[in-house]
Amino acid sequence: METTEIAREVLDTMLGYLGFVAKGEIDLSRDETSLQVLTGEPEPLIGHRGERLDDIQYLVNRIVQTQHRGAPRIRVDVDHHREIQEQNLIEEAEHLVERVVHSGEAAKMPPLNSYHRRLIHNHFAQHRQIKTWSPSDSA
Question: In this structure, what DSSP letter does residue 68 have?
Answer: S
Give the pLDDT score at 82: 92
Q: Answer yes or no: is pLDDT of 33 > 50.
A: yes
The pLDDT tens digits of the residues spanning 65-118 come to: 998 888 889 999 999 999 999 999 999 999 999 998 899 888 889 998 888 999
Rounded Cα gap, residues 39 and 78, in angstroms: 7
Coil vs helix vs strand at 82: helix
Q: List the strands of the sheet with 34-37, edge to edge.
A: 26-28, 34-37, 75-78
pLDDT tier at 52, thresholds 50, 70, 90? very high
Q: Answer yes or no: is pLDDT of 24 > 50.
A: no
Rounded Cα gap, residues 79 and 55, in angstroms: 16
